[in-house]
Amino acid sequence: MASSSPESDRFPNQPMDPALCNIDICPLSQSIFRYQPNLAMAIVPLVLFALLTVGHMISGWRYKTWTYTISILIGLFLELAGYVGRILANGNPFLDDYYLLQIVVLTCAPVLFCAAIYICLGRIVVICGPEMSRLRPAWYTPIFLTCDVISLALQGAGGALTSTADNDNGRQQGINIMLGGLSFQVATIALFGFLFLEFLWRTHASHKVSTDLQNASFAQSKKWTAFLWSLGSATMLILIRSIYRVAEMAGGYDGKLMKDENTFLVFEGILIVVAVLLLLVFHPGAVMDGFGRTAKPRVTDDTAYKAAAWGSSGEGGDSEMSAMHP
């Protein structure tokens, strides 16, 4: 009778060094993933995010929306790195480095997409009517970007602790810090969404747009409406995804959500792909000429409106937009 090997004896109560494990000798339940990442479920998102990266590069160059585009591209590069990590983990899900790579960068990436969305709201308020907003247009970007930085810092610190810890307790402490960053992100997105929707509702209910707007059809056009809906939809998708990640991390390494790859693909993969696609198809550059100091709405024969709303000239305009473009 064949004697049992040390590898078989380790299940379920004698875990070996993960560096000595592979899918042939160790049960997947002892990997940090608790499953073997599906190769196709990693390659497909990788390809989609790569295509979106190219698309946003082209649109950013075309419309010269540098701040918006750079924020999204950094987020997309993180997404690509995360799915590369999952592809590598398919070969050996027992190596912690692959797990830590994907969990840290995929958790942080949507923060950058949120930053791009926040950048847009101040411009939207100027166009639709600053008097309908609870905040001055120049305040939206710095307030919400500051919240984004705090969220990213917490998630990054948690990720750093997780990646350097040498035991599950240390890693869980890192996860808890990341959880705090994610929770703060959820609160920030929810507040942003509330202010955004309330502003649009008040503008719609008042049946008016900016008092500086001479070409009222611009802010009431189908193109502009589609842009607003896409921005709101992308925000909602990222919010839903972030709530999922909070629930996932709150359950810990052995939680049901942490071990469910299909749910991960839906909330972390599909929802984010759709959100970034909306930010590309309904690009702000299609309705606004750039995001620099000389930016203006994409309208024609409306010199007075361009000057008043975007600071090309006229009293008060330049100072307002300068505050939005440090």
Residues 177-213: tens digit of each pLDDT: 989 999 999 999 999 999 998 888 887 776 555 544 4
The predicted-structure confidence for 74-105, as pLDDT tens digits, reads as follows 999 999 999 999 999 999 898 888 988 998 89
When mean pLDDT is compared across 1-15, 19-33, 105-119, 189-203, the lowest value belongs to 1-15
Give SS3 for 64.
Answer: coil
Burial of 314 (0-12, 13-18, 19+ CB in 10 A): middle
Q: Which long-range contacts (CB under 8 A, 24 or more apart) does 258-265 make?
A: 258/34, 259/33, 259/34, 259/35, 261/35, 261/37, 261/38, 261/41, 265/41, 265/45
Specify the 3-state DSSP secondary structure of 38.
Answer: coil
pTM for the model stands at 0.81
- The predicted pLDDT at position 287 comes to 83
The pair of three-digit structure tokens given for residue 104, joined into one six-digit string? 């840290």
Length of the chain, please?
326
How many other CB atoms are found less than 10 A from the CB of residue 213?
Answer: 23
Q: Strand, coil or helix: what is 4?
A: coil
Q: Which residue has the higher pLDDT, 141 or 279?
A: 279
**pLDDT score recorded for residue 219:** 62
pLDDT at position 246 over 60: yes
The residue that leads in pLDDT, 291 or 24, is: 24
User: In terms of Cα–Cα distance, which of 262, 263, 253 is closest to 175?
Assistant: 253
All domains in the chain, ordered by first residue: 35-208+216-289 (1.20.1070.10)
pLDDT, residue 217, reads: 54
Confidence band, pLDDT 50/70/90 cuts, at residue 316? very low
Q: What confidence tier does 300 reach under pLDDT thresholds 50, 70, 90?
A: very low
Give the model confidence (pLDDT) of 111-138 as tens digits: 999 999 998 988 888 777 777 788 888 8
